[in-house]
């Protein structure tokens, strides 16, 4: 795949992923009103950041004349279901989910900046959100106790699902 085609594909998948993240936070916010009220300000701030990130990638798609990824609505639906489910389980599950998603996303974003080094616009779009994503990870990690079996299972499932959606998006 040529570098310009790869960069376009990456921008499409990143845009869909940010849409998924917005929906994860939307589902968590809905449930956290009942199960984890103390996390609401943080969740609302993270959702606002993800909306900003989605716009950054949307603008990059527009600039390149590309349509959104075919996995866009899959990311939305899956993200919302994940957000509601983990929100129902409470503050610990919400935080574990954020850590697992952001750890996976950060690894991919850092790899993308190296892979697409010659595409200044793509690297700029990706680099513009790295600090926010790291802050989401670090803030959520502060809420976690030692993980135990539940944390390991949830973290592995969420990381695996995130990897799968990225893999699928790159191939659709």
CATH of the domain at 80: 1.20.1260
Helices H / strands E in the chain, number of each: 6, 0
Q: Which single residue is written with the structure tokens 């690297």?
A: 123
- State the residue range of the domain holding 72: 3-171
pLDDT at 3 over 60: no
Question: What is the mean predicted confidence (pLDDT) over 30-39?
Answer: 97
Q: How many domains does the chain have?
A: 1
Please, what is the angle between helix 91-115 and helix 3-35, to 10°? 170
CA neighbor of 164 nearest in space, from 15, 13, 41: 13
How would residue 150 be classed by pLDDT, with cut points 50, 70 and 90? Answer: confident
């Amino acid at each position: 795949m040529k570098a310009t085609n790869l960069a376009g594909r990456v921008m499409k998948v990143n845009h869909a992923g940010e849409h998924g993240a917005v929906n994860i936070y939307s589902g968590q916010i809905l449930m956290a009103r009942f199960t984890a009220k103390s996390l609401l300000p943080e969740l609302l701030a993270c959702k606002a950041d993800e909306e900003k990130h989605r716009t950054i990638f949307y603008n990059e798609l527009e600039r390149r004349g590309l349509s959104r990824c075919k996995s866009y609505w899959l990311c939305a639906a899956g993200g919302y279901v994940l957000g509601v489910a983990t929100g129902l389980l409470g503050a610990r599950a919400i935080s574990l989910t954020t850590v697992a998603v952001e750890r996976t996303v950060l690894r991919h974003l850092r790899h993308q900046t190296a892979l697409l080094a010659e595409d200044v616009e793509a690297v700029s779009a990706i680099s513009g959100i790295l600090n926010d994503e790291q802050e989401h990870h670090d803030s959520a990690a502060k809420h976690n106790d030692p993980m135990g079996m539940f944390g390991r299972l949830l973290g592995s499932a969420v990381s695996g699902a995130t990897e799968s959606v990225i893999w699928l998006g790159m191939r659709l």
